[in-house]
Structures are given as C-alpha cells and as structure tokens.
Structure 1
C-alpha cells in the first residue's frame, strides 16, 4: 500500500513545482522583457527617462506594496486558489498593456500587472512549501523554482528584443498563452488548506502610501528637483505613513506583517540579502539596457543578446545551488554568490567608459551567476524560519523587501543617469549597488548554523 500511494504524491509534487516555477517565470519575464522595449515605447508613446522609469516601477511598486496583503490572502483562502486568482488578473492586465494607446494607460495597466503578480508570488512559494515538507527536497525544489526566473532572464531580453523589432506591444501579448496554460494546469494541484484570518486594511493602506510616496519622490525628484514642493511632500507623507504602519502592525490582532517574524536572525539577514540582490540585479539590468540602446545605439535585439550569457550562467547557478547547500550549508553559497556579484559590478564600473557592448555581457555573467547561487537558499532560510502555516506571509515579507530594493534601485539609478554624463551616472549607480551587496555579504557570514540543518539537511528526528 505504501508503494501505491507514494507515486501519486510524488507526481502531484512535481506538477505543483512545475506550475509554481512557470508562475515565477512569468513574473520575472515581465520585468526583464520590458527593459529592452523601453526605448521603442518612448519613441511611440512619448515620455522622458522618468516616464520610462514609471513603466518599470508602476509594476514593481504595486508588486511590492501588495505582497504583504497577498501573503495574507494566500494563507486565508489557500495557496492554490490565490495563485489562480493572480493568473487570471495577470491575463487581463497583459491584454490591457498590449492595447495601451498612451503612456499613461500603459503605466496604469502595468500597475495592475504588478498587483496580479503580487498575488501569484507568495502563493507559488507556499505551494512549494506544502508539496515539499522535507527540508532537503525543498532545497532542491526551490532551486528548480528559481530556474523559472533564470530562464526568464535568458528568454526575456532576447525575446523582448526580437518582439520589439516587430512591435513592442507583443512583449505583453506573449503572456496570454502562458496564462491560459497555467489556468488549465492549476486544476491538477492538490487543494491548499485555508487559514481564515481578518485582513489588516489599515496596514495595507499605510504600506501602499509609504512605498508610493518613496518611489514617487525618488523618480520625480530626479526630474523636477528634490526641492520641489510635491517631492518634499511625498517624502514627508511616506515617512508619516511608515510610522503609522509600524504602529498598526504592533497593535492589531492580525497584522499583515507580524513583527515577530523579524526575531530570527536568519530572517533579518535574508531580508537584507533579498533587498541587496534586487538592487544589484534589476537595477543594473535597467541601466545596462538604456546604456546599450541610448548610449551605444544598439538595436533592441542586439541589446537583448548581450544579456544571454548572463542568463545561461544563471540557470547553471540555480541548478547547483541546492547541491552546494546540502553539502556545505546555507552560509557558503550565499556569501560566495554575493561576492561574485560584487566582482561583476567592479568590472562594470571599470569597463563603462570603454563603450564595448560585450563588456556588459562579461560583467553581467558574474552578477547573474552570483545571484543565482545565493538567492534560492536565502529563500530556504526564510521558509525554515517560520511554521508552514505562515509560509505565505513570510514569503510575502521577504519578497516585499526584494521588490522595494528593485523599485528604489530603478528610481535612484534613473536619477543618476539622467544627467549630462550617462557613463559617470552609470558608474556611481554600480558603486552604490556594489556597496549594498558587499554589506549583505558580510551580514550573510552570520547566518545562524541552525539554518543549515533546517533548510537544507535532512531532519534529525
């Protein structure tokens, strides 16, 4: 009887992993595929650098702002149902993006895409937590899940360049068949156990105002000047909303971001590493995409091809990450991966004045490979820090910090490169990214030893 029941369970787990990985692929694809299309979008719909920043950050902002809500939603209605809702929303938003007649409509539709992606992501991680309760298997499963993002990194820039050569609207229309396939496949996933809890509406509103005010101030400050009254007001509003958010989280009975989640040292380090990774990864892809097209004059397709070696190495890094963790523990691959990212950024800083496109490819190989080795096991630390019932909420907190890192990096780096000297702004951007990642690498040296056994090794009974 044991034999007959074990095989179906394994088959269901593999199907769940495949669908969760496909969801992560789609979420990542729609950040990377759009970067290459920005220049063409600007020519057709109009808009300066700040307008193009909003095409990226509208997605990232809603993504980051709603992840905490989405984590609670995943726990409340079950990961499977939450994941399906996110797919359906992403499908509708992608149609709206592909038909957008103006830049304003495109930015609004991108925000809706980000909201749907927020619903999908914590649910996908929770599905993996449910399907792979044994830590050693989960370490490998998370590596495979991360490959979804790495494959998007491989396909995204090249596919975006090819589709943009035909029509930039195709970079959004390509999502439609993927969403339809996922909606069909999700029916085969085992139902998730819901855990009904009240929604923290006060926390959600203040979180949205905090992040919105911060990102608006950074982007518009670069365009209008940081002394502009609207920019100053946005920063003041963000600070006040942050204080209100923390007070609400400390006092309500069912907070969307329970403050006790921050007590484990491993969780705090993982949040810093996740933030730093996004600064160094998505922030540099944004800058390099504009550098290749606007500064060096490459076509969208040629610019996309430059990122292909990095994406290929990222896939390899994700595949070996779980093996390294099971042999050496969490600390080694995380520190090694972050240090490799710093090496890549140093190379990009030195090579920026050369005007040689393939120098971007070489530097990006190091940043892509390093990040792909580190991040799957940082995710494993997060899931090991909480009980299964809190997997959705914990993953939402972690990914909120990640997406805030990406949004802030794009906003700040956009300001730095918007001046008259693009290359100097590019170098300063990479110096900032390198310093943040180096800080995270030092912190990762103090990942507690118990994270090794809880996240990567077999249970000891």
Structure 2
C-alpha cells in the first residue's frame, strides 16, 4: 500500500491564499536593553505581546485540524443535499401530477431528468475537479444546485420544473466527485481518511432514511414546493462552511474537449437507454438506437483518451486493480440495492395491498441502520483496512437476498422487516471501505477523476437495477410478480458473491506509477 506523503510542518494553509508562515509568538519578556534605553517603550511592547497572543489564539481557532473539519462538514452537507434530492421527490410526485398534469411519463422525468444529467456528467465533472481545483468546483456546483432548487420550487409549469431538475442533476454531478476529492486532499493518513469517508457516507445514509419522511411531512404540511426550498438553508450553511476550508490547488493542463464530448454522449445514451428500458423493454427501437449510440461514443472515447497527450481519464487508471474492481463493486452494490427497493416498493403495495405510507415505513428500519453501519465501517476500516469490512458487508447482504427467495404473498410483516435488516447493514458497511480503497489507490491530484468514475458506475448500476429487476416482475398476477422477485434475489446473490470473492482475492491498493 502506498504511503501518503507527509505534509510540511512549517506552513499552514490559509483559505484563499495558498500557504503562509505560522506566526511565532512574541517573547514573554522585553529585551533588557530596550527597557534601559527607553522605559516608555514597555507599554507598547506589552501591547505588541498581547496582539501576538491574540493572533496566536485566532490561528489556533483556524488551525489546520479545524479547517480539515470544516472541509469534511462542507462535503458531508453537500452529499446530504444530493442524496436527499434523489429520494425526497418520489413521495411528492402524485401531488405534482395533480397540479401540473403531464401523465406518468412527465412525472417519471421529474426523477429521470435529474438522474440523466447526474450520471452523464459525473465523469467529466471529476476531471474538471482535478483540473480547476476541487474546492472551486464544489463551490460552483453547490451554488448552482441551491439556485436550481429555488427554481424547482418556483416553477410555474411542468416543463420549467423538468428544466430546473436537469440543472440540479448537472450541479450535483459537479459536487459529488469534488466532495470526495476534498476529503482525499484534506486527510493524508489512511485511518483518518477512513473515518472521514464514513462520516461523509453516513450523511448520505441519513438522507436516504430521511427522504421519504421529509417528503411526506413537507408535502402534506407546506406543499410540494417545500421539498425543494429545504435545500436553501442547507446550501447556504454548506457555502458558509466552505469559506473556512482550505482551497485546492488546480492542475493546469489543457482541456480534453473531444474526450469530454465523447464521454458525455456515451453516458447520456446509456442512461437514457436504461431509463427507457423500464418503460418500453429492451427490444424497443428507441432503446436499441440509444445503446448503439453508447457503443459508438464509448469506442470513440477510448480512442481519444489513448491518443491525446492530456486525457480526461488516463487509461492507466484501470491498471490499478483497486480502481477497476471498486468501479465494478460500486455498480453491483447499487444495482442490487436500488433494484431491490424498487421491486419491494411494488411488492408491498400490489401483492400485499399496503398503502403508500405503510410501504414507505416498511423501509425505515433498513435505511436507518445504514447510517449506523456507515459510521461503524469507518472505525473497522481504520483498524483493519478496507478489504475485510468491504467483503463482510457484501456477504451480509447475500444472507438477506437469499432469505428473500422464500418470501410469499402472506409473509408476516415482522419477518419481512427482519429479512431487510442484513441488507441495510451490509450496504452500510460496504460503501465506506469501497471509497477508502479507491482513494488510497490514487494520488490526491487524481481524486476527482477517480471519484467521478466510481460515482458514475454506481449511478449506472442503480438505473440498471431498476430496469433489470423491473423487467423480471413485469406481467399479470402475483405469481408472475413473485417469480420475478425471487429471480431478482438470485441474481443479486450471485453478483454479490462474485464481487465478494474479487474483494478478497484480487483487490490491492498499490498505486501504479504516475497515478
């Protein structure tokens, strides 16, 4: 495992001004010759000493440790906003539909417009974070996200709401890899970084658990607009916190414009194909055309990156087993988890006949434990390294998915809640060490690109899970639905067993030269 470089002890970061010398406290006693030559100077000397002491006290408040904590707090608040906005909207969709109309397709794009922009721009945003500086990109994304949230709440028509949601997704894409890059740059020691990543991940877990509850309370009490306006104070707090965090150094290299265009085109085509598959099926001409566009754009991207002098995503990144395997594991984790949530949401309502509110509450024990597991995973990773917690989390999810194979239309509620608990705990244990493994494997100036790659894989995995598992449960009757549910659980089990084996046998965090 590559050891992080030690940071200098002679300078301290200063927000907005790079580095500056740490002030040396003034002597406690004035020089004797000064006192002899001019006794009247004793008072000014005392004032100078007091000023130095006050300056030292101010410097202690804004110490590197304090500014590192501010970096983590800003990154966690940003991640909370991104995740909350992806989960809080679902509950409000019927209310939005009653006001604007637009049918099921229009309401789907309230969610999918955000997802499409988010997933398609993650890779490019990660590269921009490294090129322009993580703090600058995070601040820009946070500002735009907050303003777009206000635009969503003030939208007078459904098209205006959809446009604001796309802007939100683009801003979220800029924030996500930059937030992880900030943590990678702020925490040089592996153990401290693992705990910081656990805190960052726990913020997302809290948003997952709070999203349905916030959505229901705000929509019923203040109207659907409130689910977007809630981002305004959170965004303002995150921006205020970011001003106290150190600024990241940019990496001045030429912009790989051709690579950016090819990557965005490929990811837009793939994400659009996956979204439309859930509605039209894999054989739809629109889906087939989108998949063909993805293949062509992806091939062009690889050729461009192989030939350009300053590629957006150096293909050498994939020489690292840690980078390649974490991307695959991230895809599988989101595919299985979000595919399961989608299928079970319909199972609770269509097979068991439960209300929308009851169906949402069924997930609370699972999602609430994710946050606790995130924090526990940070401590485990700091003590034992990332491999064992990551493999253990995936294997714990396997036990839950295997148990779901026996679920029927009359399975008791308590049994269902018990079966979901290992899936929630396992998911919470897996993500922090997954992220730690990736950030250990690359240098700080590539953290944005690598984080964008992992986030992109996870977003695509979530969309694939909904499309794949949704296709398996399609059909008439509860028997067909249950067959699809059981098949989905088997697929999830097999995929997680494969990634668990890869974690234990193949994963290393050694950094290839130049990365």
| Structure showing greater relative contact order (alpha-carbon pairs closer than 8 Å, 6 or more residues apart) | 1
Q: Please show how residues 30-429 of structure 1 align to structure 2 within 5 Å.
A: 30-42=85-97, 45-46=100-101, 52-101=107-156, 103-166=158-221, 167-293=223-349, 296=352, 298-351=354-407, 353-354=409-410, 360-421=416-477, 422-429=481-488
**Which residues of structure 1 form unaligned runs of 5+?**
455-461
Highest Rg: 1 or 2? 2
Q: Tell me how far 1:375 sits from its aligned partner.
A: 1.0
Preserved CA contact (<8 Å) 1:63 1:117? yes
| Aligned match of 1:12 | 67
Q: CA deviation at 1:418?
A: 4.6
TM-score (structure 2 length as normaliser): 0.80
What's the offset of the Cα at 1:84? 0.9
Give the deviation of 1:224 after TM superposition.
3.5
- Partner of 1:445: helix, strand, or coil? helix
State how far apart, in whole Å, the 2-side matches of 1:50 and 1:343 are: 36
Question: In the TM superposition, what whole-angstrom CA distance separates every residue of 1:173-192 from its partner, at most 9, and x where no partner exists?
Answer: 22222112212221111111
Report the Cα offset of residue 219 of structure 1: 3.5
Q: Which one of 442, 450, 460 corresponds to residue 501 of structure 2?
A: 442
Q: How far does residue 17 in structure 1 lie from its aligned partner after superposition? A: 0.9
CA separation in 1, counterparts of 2:245 and 2:371?
25
| SS of structure 2 residue aligned to 1:378 | helix
- Tell me: CA distance 1:430–1:197, structure 2 relative to 1, closer, same or farther (3 Å): farther
Say how many residue pairs are matched. Answer: 452
- Compared with structure 1, are the counterparts of its residues 300 and 97 closer, same or farther at alpha carbon in structure 2 (3 Å cutoff)? farther
Regions of 4+ moved over 6 Å:
1-7
Match of residue 459 from structure 1: none
Q: Distance in 1 between matches of 2:403 and 2:387?
A: 25
Change in 2 beyond 3 A, CA 1:394/1:217: closer
* Pairwise CA RMSD: 2.7
Task: Give the whole-Å Cα distance in 1 for the aligned partners of 2:494 and 2:501.
Answer: 11
Identify which range, 229-238 or 130-139, moves more after superposition.
229-238
Q: Displacement of 1:142 after TM fit?
A: 0.9
Secondary structure of 2:248 counterpart:
coil
Unaligned runs of 5+ in 2: 1-23, 26-55
Q: Partner of 2:88: helix, strand, or coil?
A: helix
1:217-260 CA-partner distances (Å, limit 9, x unpaired): 33334434544433322221121111111111211222222111
What is the alpha-carbon distance in structure 2 between the residues aligned to residue 420 and residue 208 of structure 1? 38
Q: What CA distance in whole angstroms lies between the structure 2 residues aligned with 1:289 and 1:83? A: 34
Distance of 2:326 and 2:70 partners within structure 1: 28
Q: Say if 1:393 and 1:276 are closer, same or farther in 2 by CA, change over 3 A.
A: same
Cα gap change, 1:393 to 1:296, in 2 (>3 Å): same
Q: If the length of structure 1 is used for normalisation, what is the TM-score? A: 0.89
Match of 1:458 in 2: none
- Report how far residue 360 of structure 1 moved: 4.9
